[in-house]
Structure 1
Amino acid sequence: MKILHQLQKYGPRRLTSWLLVGTLSATLLAGCGDKQPPEKNTKQTEKAHPTAKDEANSASGKQEGNDTEKLLTLSAEESQKAGIKLQTLELEERSEQLLVTASIQANQDRLAHVGPRVPGRIVKVNANLGDMVKPGQSLAMLDSIELGEARSSYIQAASEVAVTQAGFERAKRLQADNIIPEKEYLRARAEHEKSRASLRAASDKLRMMGVDPEKLTGSIFSLAAPFTGTVIEKKAVLGELATPDQLLFTVADLSTLWIESDLFEKDLGKVKVGAQATVTVSAYPGEVFKGRLTYISSTMNKETRTIKARVEVPNPDGKLKPEMFANAAINTTGASAKALIVPENAVLLLQGQPTVFVAEKGGFESRAVVVGERTQGYAVLKSGVVAGESVVVSGAYALKARLLKSQIGDAD
């Protein structure tokens, strides 16, 4: 009723103005009240949005944690079980190399085919394939009729020498006392000289048959090894008749082998005799055998336009075998450069990136590298590591498996 009375007294416009003033006053009073809740909201906002310093500390801590995770630590027993071996990186001279395929052959200067000089039946075989033999060692025993006849002639000649020598000495004494004429003395001396000549002929015949007259007993003789080596071929069969045109054994000194290859005509000017070379075979991946270029042929094959060449390689452990296929890298006459070189199996792929494991801070760190030339089981590291660092060259696959296992565990 009061509002209706005011509306009739002052009119609608005046009453609307009063209502606006009342609303504005209520709003101002609300703004001047307690301000604690907005302060609380401010603190919540600060926690939701950390400062730049907090972000830096957090990033630093995270990076440090990643470095720790990347470092693999193994106990001494685990390292030994994994076969971990390290190599300290050094700058090595690396020459340009000519790569050729080759085959391994026995050293022809230390190879002997052994057979009888006279026909004989094999009565005993003393050596087998693969046996190591020494000079003079018996390979087989043979019984020869011809040798028996030659020995009989030798014995007869030796007897005649003994008889004629006694007669000559007697004639010499008698002639000195003028008991017999000089003619008798000269005849006795001639007979003695003749018998001696027959003995020498019989002895030489036995030696040509390959036996020592002083050591021969009966008609059985021995085939002896000419030098220290290995029996790489055997055709001697007990009871068979062997003839001079048969080769019963082949003995080779395998301590040094020949690596024979063909050089193309365009490469002839790049190499020279005496150049260092390395040889690899598929039987021993990652292992390199060092040798030297010892021969380049003086003639060229007109059909293939290649020249025969030979690398001589020491083989003290006997790992290389004749007739193996090989790859040879011969140092050329070009300039050399220094590089960091590791065995090729030290470089692994992690997430498609060539990687090596570096010993650091009591553990092993996976390090991405850039690999250059790969040849003869070795790889050149162009970046990612420096000289003086120790790289895992054996057992890297075990470290890779351990690293991948730890990453799978973190993902879970």
Structure 2
Amino acid sequence: MITANGSNDGKTAELQEPDKLGTHEEVDFPAIEATPTAAELEALLSKPAPATDAVVVVVENDDRDVIIEPPLSATKKWPIVLAVLLVAVVGIAAIIYLQTRPQPVPTPKSVDLPTQTSTTTSGMPETAFKISPEKQQLIGVQYGTVEYQTISKSLRAVGKVAFDETKITRISPKVEGWIENVYVDFVGKLVKKGQPMISIYSPDLVQTQEEYLLAIKGRRQLGESPFAEAVNFSESLVQSTRRRLEFWDISEAQIRELEKRGTPNRAMTLYAPASGFVTARNAFPKQRVTPETELYAISDLSKVWVIADIYEFEAAEIKLGQPATVVLSPYPGREFQGKITYIFPQLDNTTRTLKVRVELANKGFELKPDMYADVILSMSYGRRLVVPQEAVMDSGAEQLVYVSLNDGYFEPRKVQLGAKVDNKFIVLAGLTEGERVVTSGNFLVDSESKLKSAGGGMGMPGMDMGGSGSKAGEKPSQQTQPQSQPTERKILYWYDPMNPANKSDKPGKAPDGMDLVPKYADNK
């Protein structure tokens, strides 16, 4: 600072610069004869100042000092302005560089491997993964609920009406002879029990009749004999001859008629032993017959069977005594009620079906053997936990459903299923009431799950399935299990896979739009 103060002669002052302390030089000021007035002082200050860095003039006048500091010179301002401009240019250049600099391509050595954590987030199962709401909407995810329901179903099978084999009667003669007359002469005729079938001439039968008549005559003659042995012998002879006639199916009425008539009958009539329809006939006039000859077969159709074919995978649901409803096309709108009376012990090797027998009452003989029928078996499972069929992904080895958790998380879960009822499965294990499961889009959800598992197993960064893992910008956690570090591979250059002649020393895109791929020194 340059200071002017009073001196002995009033004409000189001491000049001191702040940058050069202790340096003095003489400066001549106009002589001041007396205390200057304000006008004189203003005229004095209006004169040009000497070319110095800064001048401060202090005028002492009694009790006050006047200090004047003129502005800096142009030579002092230019360095400051240039420095400010330089700093601004450098800052702008740094910002532009950070925004436009190329991203480095990571080599196998520089890839950070994230940790496959045991849980996706706090409280979530280790297999859970997240799908963002936008991706769920894109996939078309829909949900169903696991709940308890009263379950029953109807199993339909095809069948055929058949004869009740326990009500088929086959007629054969018990004596050898010749047929005299045939009273039932066509198949399909309905006969009643005791109705005449044929008359047969048999020498053995005629001889037995004569022996019976003689035995009766002898019993009358010896009845008054004093010898008891003779009386008993005649009685036993009558009884043995009578039993022989009975064994040959000679009825009681025919025997009484023989006793009343007193002479043997040349031809004896055979009567129907049961009621039913004639299903087979082998009896013709003048035909010689033996005990091995089957003359008729009579089938009682008051009850019939329906033999139904049950598929192999449904065989376990069939039980004896199970009610069944039979529907036939000749009788639309009508239902015949029956029950299962027998389950065959072997599957049909050709159709791979299990045969079951349903027994039906057949009043009016409306059900004809060999008619085709639909058999409906009703099964009730009671109140059971069920899951929609669409939610189950069956790979053959296991059944899998995707359970919806909170905040967009999903869990693949193995389940144990029972019978399929309509469009639901009975749940034996793996699910609880009230859980939500994916019913639509589950194949794409399964793909997301496998992609997430594969990405986590290979340590691929960014495989968070729509934000399921860490937040953006967070570094993946360190691996809990040590992994072998890949060896560094040297990149020679980058080239276009469609046109290897196009090469570059850095990654980018080729003129044809393809991404450039690295060419390694080991040619792998």
TM-score between both structures, scaled by the size of structure 1:
0.49
Larger relative contact order (Cα-Cα within 8 Å, sequence gap ≥ 6): 1
Structure label with greater radius of gyration = 2
TM superposition score normalised by structure 2: 0.39
